Amino acid sequence: MLQLESNSLEDLGELAKQIVNLTDQKIFVFYGEMGAGKTTLIKKIVEVLGSNDEVSSPTYSLVNEYFSETTGTIYHFDFYRIESEDEVFDIGYEDYLYSSHYCFIEWPEKIANLLPSSYVKVTIKDQESKRLITLSIDE
């Protein structure tokens, strides 16, 4: 387990580099309250991976796709609005998840039964003027 601390948006780029360099794992699940900074951190990670695409929360589309010349396709999921795990199958979730591309998943607790056996768990807690980011690798 690794704990990181972010005191401002400016230091998120360095934290994103640490997160990417932590493991060869390409599936990351993000836990945190609404407004904790999940999408903001994912945006910085996508930048570190070499994408110039605009990163936004896929709240209504469920998945956004970004591209990087160095790492290829990157998938970003937001399952906040799903009502059942069946909705995830309707978008072809397994095809994305087992594509060997980077996958960043917000609100993974909504699809707990569908998560793969191995991933990086990122937990973000907002504490006054800073954010505590805890990473653990479930293998």
Q: How many helices (H) and strands (E) does the chain have?
A: 4, 7
Output the pLDDT for position 77: 95
pLDDT for 119 equals: 95
Given this model, what pLDDT does residue 74 score?
Answer: 97
Closest alpha carbon to 119 in 129, 128, 111: 111
Residue the block writes with tokens 């997160």: 19
What pLDDT is stored for residue 139 in this prediction? 62
pLDDT at residue 42 in the model = 95
pTM of the model: 0.92
Contact assessment for residue 89 and residue 68, using Cβ atoms and an 8 Å cutoff: no
Are the CB atoms for 18 and 24 separated by under 8 Å? Answer: no
Task: Show the low-confidence residues of the chain (pLDDT under 70).
Answer: 139
C-alpha–C-alpha distance, residues 83 and 91, integer Å: 14
pLDDT at 105: 96
CATH fit for domain 2-138, picks 3.90.550.10, 3.40.50.300, 2.60.40.1220, 3.30.559.10:
3.40.50.300
